[in-house]
Amino acid sequence: MDDPESDQRRKHSQDLRVTYHETDGQRRVHHANYLNYFERGRVEMLRAAGISYKQLEDAGLLLVVVEMNVRYLAAAEFDDLLTLTTELVEIRKVRIRHRYTICLGDQVIVEADSVIACIDRGGNPKRLPPQLGQF
């Protein structure tokens, strides 16, 4: 049974304006900064589904990145208006896999995927909270 609302919630798009300090001496977005964009994508995708990542952390649950794979296909420059698409591709007991695409117009700039784990403040794996599980 298809649940179109659920499908919608598994994919999220947002615009990102490249700021000056994110560029480096090559006049391109420094490659490390894309990981910050992906993080914003995860937070905003949760928010769009009614979940506050801040409240999860305040409740003692940390989502930590355990794997990150990035392919850089083209450069983005200062002031470019990029589109980030964040997609939830798999969810397990304590781990979530996301896929990311960043485009400038029709051109794909960066593709990536990551694995996020849920832990408590002591570093122990924790079952993902139910609202994420249904998500």
Q: Which of 2, 7, 24, 79 is catalytic?
A: 24
What residues pair up with 53 in beta bridges, in sequence order?
none
Q: Distance between CA atoms of 26 and 93, rounded to whole angstroms?
A: 42
What residues pair up with 64 in beta bridges, in sequence order?
117
Write down the residue that tokens 């591709």 correspond to. 89
Answer yes or no whether residue 75 interacts with its own copies by CB under 8 A: yes
Answer yes or no whether residue 91 interacts with its own copies by CB under 8 A: no
Q: Distance between CA atoms of 19 and 42, rounded to whole angstroms?
A: 20
Whole-number minimum distance, CB 17 to its own copies, in Å? 8
Whole-number minimum distance, CB 12 to its own copies, in Å? 15
Whole-number minimum distance, CB 1 to its own copies, in Å? 34
Q: Which residues are catalytic?
A: 24
